[in-house]
Amino acid sequence: MSNTDTHTDHSRAGDPGPEDTAAEDATAALTRDEADAREIGAAGSQLSTAPREEPLLSGPTLGPIGWVRWFWRQLTSMRIALLLLLMLSLAAIPGSLIPQTSADQNKVDTFITEHTTLGPLYDKLQLFHVYSSVWFSAIYILLFISLIGCIIPRTWQFVGQLRGRPPGAPSRLTRLPAYTTWRTDAEPEAVREAALAILKRRRFRAHVVGDAVAAEKGYLRETGNLMFHVALIVMLLAFASGSLFKSEGGKLILEGDQDGFSNTLSQYDDFTSGPLFDTANLAPFSFSLDDFIGTYERSGPEIGTARKFQADIHYSAGPGDTEHKGVIKENHPLKIEGSNVYLISHGYAPSVTVKDGKGKVVFHGTTPMLPFDKNLSSSGAIKVMDGYRDKNGKKDQLGFAALFVPTFGGKGQMLSQFPATDFPVLNIGAYHGDLGVDSGIPQNVYQLNTKVLKPFKDAKGQILKQSLLPGDTMKLPGGAGSITFDKGPVKEWASFQVTHQPGELWALGGAIAAILGLAGSLFIQRRRVWVKAVTGPDGVTVLEMAGLGRSESAKLPEELGDLAVTLIPEAPPAPDPDADDAGEASAAVAPADHAEGAEK
């Protein structure tokens, strides 16, 4: 009896209403799905090695061992791994917004001093050293364990699948999402042999099971999935090693300075390292700055824009190594002994000569100035700490607050108009007294603490200041001496950053492998195909083809249809005795009676 007839009979009897009919339909659909699962059986198993997901809030009732097993399954589930990855990304945000002790301890101290409430709170929460904090490490380790716990069983299961063979065909191929059938006069054995050869040519793993050929393809999907997870572990290990064993330091070097730089801790202007880095392992290389070349746009809307920054150096990889010439440019570091030497900034270092009241030279040399605008207007401090005596023969110290402009813009324009030294001017303010260098308190070599110094006064009683051209001299009052802006080209300096970051290549390789693995897991479909050939009741061979994929895809019916077209020459359709035209026969890829979207 049809469903319509059944419904009509119930209506006449007055028993179930529309709600009961809907419930019966739902029950029938559920029963049909269960029947499908039983029919497909092993044919649909092991299409993926993904672990079975369990409800997050459904705890076990098996005691302590059950709780441990439940916790382990939750930790190694995909949703927890993604959650931990998100938490790790969020946990890294404070490290880029709040000063870190590993990068600049002075900034941390300044922050704590200026923020009397937040500073101590951040310190207790370990926000000044985020990447070595307990909570960040806990997330990192849990993510690492989650990935390991996910990969090992999946790999073991995948290896087992590779060693096995595709399962045999289910009893009813019509239950599968993609299906086609036709009758042929070819013998069943010949059909199976032809199907086996075609599937193997198309890189299916295929074999004959009973009266059907079972084939499978798309193992690279799971390979890509495993590659992605392994790559994440490699990246985590690379980042961890880079954080623990890294070192980074800065050094300012004057061009033409023969002493240059040697890779020892005392040579750095500033230095930071990971907690497990040993300074005794610093590579013994050295280098000197021969010449710095900087060119700038001379006209147009981009006037003053840098066009070329280049540091010509000579370097040695160790005490016994010969000197080599090299060039360091922006984004083109010098790679030496596992370290990268980057060019990060540059500026000018005017040369001055300071004499005491008797004409004795007490200081002669270059002083680096720090730029504070795009045209390299620079400030600095010239400090004469030893050898100077005042007019009474008493030991004293001199300090000069200096402002250097490479291109002077005229009176009232004390900022540089262009970054090149077209019209260099050095403005000097003179002081004397105790510079504080012997107090034991660290101070900035580029700044002068004028609060504790006595200024030299001019005839008007103002602080003695004067703008000097190359070759000009400023006399100090009362026969206290003089300072001269030396003639000749103004020397330049370059600042270099020496970075040792282990694990960089591993991190790069892991990132590339992760992208490739993710692409494979997203765009490759794992699918199975069966070709069944049996002799029908009338002695004619009945050929059935069906396909099953891990997920619904329009490509599966297309691929099955293409296989059917390829197989037809080996198993041509037999005439249909029920057709109007006995010579007319065709094969079509059709969906199962409960599936949608299969193509003809």
Residue pair 387/372 in contact (Cβ under 8 Å)? The answer is: no
CA dist., res. 169 & res. 534, Å (int):
13
CA distances 45 to 49, 158, 549, 593, Å, are: 10, 13, 11, 21
Higher model confidence: residue 29 or residue 297?
Answer: 297
CA dist., res. 213 & res. 165, Å (int):
11
- Tell me what pLDDT residue 53 has: 54
How many other β-carbons are positioned within 10 Å of the β-carbon of residue 191?
Answer: 23
Is 538 exposed, middle or buried (CB count within 10 Å of its CB: 0-12, 13-18, 19+)?
exposed
Tens-digit pLDDT profile for residues 317-338: 988 888 999 999 988 999 998 8
> Which range among 364-373, 445-454, 558-567 shows the weakest confidence by mean pLDDT?
445-454
Give the orientation angle of helix 134-163 with respect to helix 219-245, to 10 degrees: 150
Average pLDDT over residues 454-473: 93
Copy the structure tokens of residue 387: 């050898």
Among candidates 161, 154, 160, 136, which has minimal Cα distance to 229?
Answer: 154
The confidence band for 498, taking pLDDT boundaries of 50, 70 and 90, is very high
CA distances 378 to 374, 431, 453, 471, Å, are: 10, 19, 22, 19
Full DSSP string of 452-473: GSEEPB-TTSSB-EEEE-TT-E
Is the Cα torsion angle 181, 185, 191, 195 positive or negative in sign?
negative
Is the whole-model pTM more than 0.75? no
Q: How would you write 491-529 as a 3-class SS string?
A: EEEEEEEEEECCCHHHHHHHHHHHHHHHHHHHHCCCEEE
CA dist., res. 493 & res. 208, Å (int):
77
Predicted confidence (pLDDT) at residue 433 exceeds the cutoff of 50 = yes
The confidence band for 341, taking pLDDT boundaries of 50, 70 and 90, is very high
Q: DSSP assignment, residue 269?
A: S
- Tell me what pLDDT residue 11 has: 37
Residue pair 206/214 in contact (Cβ under 8 Å)? The answer is: yes
CA dist., res. 374 & res. 194, Å (int):
76
Average pLDDT over residues 46-58: 56
CA dist., res. 213 & res. 344, Å (int):
66
How many other β-carbons are positioned within 10 Å of the β-carbon of residue 582?
Answer: 11
Predicted confidence (pLDDT) at residue 293 exceeds the cutoff of 70 = yes
Q: What residue type is assigned to position 69 of the chain?
A: R
Q: What residue type is assigned to position 227 of the chain?
A: M
Full DSSP string of 350-384: -EEEEE-TTS-EEEEEE---EE-STT--EEEEEEE
- Tell me what pLDDT residue 49 has: 58
Q: What is the mean pLDDT of the chain?
A: 84
CA dist., res. 136 & res. 258, Å (int):
45
Full DSSP string of 527-564: EEEEEEEEE-TTSPEEEEEEEEESS--THHHHHHHHHH
- Tell me what pLDDT residue 132 has: 82
What does residue 512 show for φ and ψ, rounded to 5 degrees?
-65, -45
The confidence band for 598, taking pLDDT boundaries of 50, 70 and 90, is very low
- Tell me what pLDDT residue 584 has: 41
Average pLDDT over residues 255-277: 89
Tens-digit pLDDT profile for residues 128-165: 988 888 999 899 899 889 888 888 888 888 887 778 88
Higher model confidence: residue 405 or residue 409?
Answer: 405
- Tell me what pLDDT residue 6 has: 35
